[in-house]
Structure 1
Amino acid sequence: MPAETDTSAIHVRDATRDDLDALVALSQKTFTDKFGHLYKPEDLQAFLDTEHSLSTYRTALAAPRTLVRVAETPEGSLGAYLVCGPLTLPAEEAAEGAVELKRIYVDASLQGRGLGRHFIDEAFAWARRQEAPEMYLSVFSENDGARRLYERVGFEKIGEFLFPVGEHRDLEFLMRRRLE
């Protein structure tokens, strides 16, 4: 896949250090929009401060085996993003070289344009270039729409685990797609 793609006036490209502030803002907004109502304010803030921080995305952009892509609107704002990298999920029987689809978020204003599916296709292409035998992801157990999308593209549920959001614990489904 080329480093830059333009799809229906939305410009999909590799994220850069110049995107850091906008990427952090987008990641915090999209997570809060989708899941914020589930948590106490202090749990949500603790999660955002650690998992959706400037440091988190600065580290991802600097990591050699990590993919960070963004979708930029014609006005120049970020409206969606993708992060893939080395496997960190609790996949006990993962094949050597397995990778993780860490995040796909699309702002509500851009949903329904196929960006989520576009990013999934980019994630698979990236994983194949890494010669990864399989890709993992986790999805909130009550996020039925995302789970169904992942199943349509070949992921299967292989386990469950508790995911911390501050002091709160969510039931997450661990999913895998074999790439070989």
Structure 2
Amino acid sequence: MVPPEKQQTMRIVEANASDAAHIALLARITFTETFGHFFTDKTDLHQYLNQTFGVKKIRNSIEKPNNIFWLAFIEELPVGYAKLKLNSPSQFITAENLCQLQKIYVLKDFLSKKVGHSLQNELLKRAAESNSERVWLSVLKSNVRAIKFYEKNGFETIGDHDFQIGKEHFEFQAMAKNLT
């Protein structure tokens, strides 16, 4: 058992526009940790990071009413983030009121601290409060750790789709979970 003085305190907060820089930095690092090794041309990776995870773009995304972001802190360090998109249809689901778990990313050094689970709990709670029938997500087919995490938490595979970044082709699977 870890003595109380040695336990690390985790805190999850709903993000606002002033948190955009933390989220942008976490997004760049965690995306590179997760997908960077797939890129044969690092220019494609850097272009994607610049166009997708800029502070201004993240700030604009946070300010959209259908987007909700959370930040996870351990001992005051930002170590992970999550994003829920309300009213987000899927080609794989015919239900009307859907939301999308767009992102849960945690720095590799903190994966064992259950940060992803805590972020997911906050996200699913808000999704249920929004009266959404189901929540869906996309996950890289080769990301076995993430797929097992989602399956363990009640998500089921509902389809497959592809995604292209620069010269790289990625195969994803869509997963969904009932909220009602």
Instruction: Give TM-score scaled by structure 1 length.
Output: 0.88
Is the counterpart of residue 111 in structure 1 residue 111 in structure 2? Answer: yes
- The match for 1:58 is 59
- The match for 2:149 is 149
Is the counterpart of residue 173 in structure 1 residue 176 in structure 2? Answer: no
> Which AA in structure 2 matches 1:168?
E
Is the counterpart of residue 73 in structure 1 residue 74 in structure 2? Answer: yes
Gaps of 5+ in 2: 1-6
Gaps of 5+ in 1: 1-6
In structure 1, C-alpha distance between the alignment counterparts of 2:67 and 2:162, rounded to whole Å:
24
In structure 2, C-alpha distance between the alignment counterparts of 1:116 and 1:161, rounded to whole Å:
24
What secondary structure, in the 3-state scheme, does the structure 2 residue paired with 1:99 have?
strand
In structure 1, C-alpha distance between the alignment counterparts of 2:68 and 2:8, rounded to whole Å:
22
- % of aligned pairs identical? 24
- The Cα RMSD (Å) is 1.8
> Which AA in structure 1 matches 2:77?
S
Tell me how many residue pairs correspond in the alignment: 173
In structure 1, C-alpha distance between the alignment counterparts of 2:100 and 2:94, rounded to whole Å:
11
Contact 1:36 1:44 (C-alpha < 8 Å) held by counterparts: yes
Instruction: Give TM-score scaled by structure 2 length.
Output: 0.88
Contact 2:89 2:98 (C-alpha < 8 Å) held by counterparts: no
Superposition misfits of 4+ residues, deviation over 4 angstroms: 87-90
Contact 1:87 1:136 (C-alpha < 8 Å) held by counterparts: no
> Which AA in structure 2 matches 1:144?
V
Counterparts of 1:25-64 in structure 2, within 5 Å, are: 25-39=25-39, 40-64=41-65
For residues 58-96 of structure 1, give each alpha carbon's deviation from its aligned partner in whole angstroms, at most 9, with x where no partner exists: 12210122210001232x331110101135575243311
What secondary structure, in the 3-state scheme, does the structure 2 residue paired with 1:24 have?
helix
| Compared CA separation, residues 56 and 87, structure 1 to 2 (3 A) | farther
